[in-house]
Structure 1
Amino acid sequence: MGIVITKKARIGCNLSLKQNTTVGNKQGLKEDDFIIIGNNVDIGANTCIIGSITIGNNVTIGAMSFVNKSIPANSIYITKKHQK
């Protein structure tokens, strides 16, 4: 169990990360591409955040989410799981 954060992340105050979370970049991004995470963000367990995206202030990301697009401030984000 661990947390991985790219050196190309800009993180605001009061970030809460749970276990097995990755904040990373896709290969081939430009030198000035960053992941920007705002203030008061809560990221659930087993979540993967990739790409040159912005997560706004006061965002909650549910467990086991895959995030590859920006999330506006004051949002709740989950990835729907398909049931068999």
Structure 2
Amino acid sequence: MGIVITKKARIGCNLSLKQNTTVGNKQGLKEDDFIIIGNNVDIGANTCIIGSITIGDNVTIGAMSFVNKSIPANSIYITKKTSEVIPVINHKKWD
């Protein structure tokens, strides 16, 4: 378990980070590109934040989210996940 934060992040007051969170850069960013995280931001576990983006004040990011675009202040951000069960047809037992 760990948290990774790029040196090109600008972080406001009262940030809450959960386990296995990455705040990183994409390859090819310019020297003056930063991730800006506002005040009172809560980031859920297993979240990946990448790119030259801004996360506004008072934002909650749900667990297991992938963030690659800016989030306005006073927002909740989640990455919708779908699960699907695929039936196996003609299942054969191994001898």
TM range (shorter): over 0.9
**Unaligned 5+ residue runs, structure 2?**
82-90
Give, in whole Å, the separation in 2 of the partners of 1:51 and 1:32.
12
Q: Measured at CA, do residues 31 and 80 of structure 1 come closer, stay the same or move farther in structure 2, by a change above 3 Å? A: same
Number of aligned residue pairs: 84
Runs of 4+ in 1 over 2 A off after TM superposition: none
Query: What's the TM-score, normalizing by structure 2?
Result: 0.85
Q: Deviations over 1:17-66 (max 9, x none)?
A: 00000000001100000000000000000000000000000000000000
Give distance in 1, aligned partners of 2:92 and 2:3.
Answer: 27
Deviation at 1:83, TM superposition (A): 26
Highest RCO, 1 vs 2 (Cα 8 Å, sep ≥ 6)? 1
Largest Rg, 1 or 2 = 2
2:64 is paired with a residue of what secondary structure? coil
Q: CA RMSD in A?
A: 4.4
Structure number with higher strand proportion? 1
Q: Identify if the C-alpha distance between structure 1 residues 31 and 41 changes in structure 2 by more than 3 Å, giving closer, same or farther.
A: same
Q: What is the distance in 1 between the residues matched to 2:69 and 2:28?
A: 17
Gaps of 5+ in 1: none
- TM-score, structure 1 length as denominator? 0.96
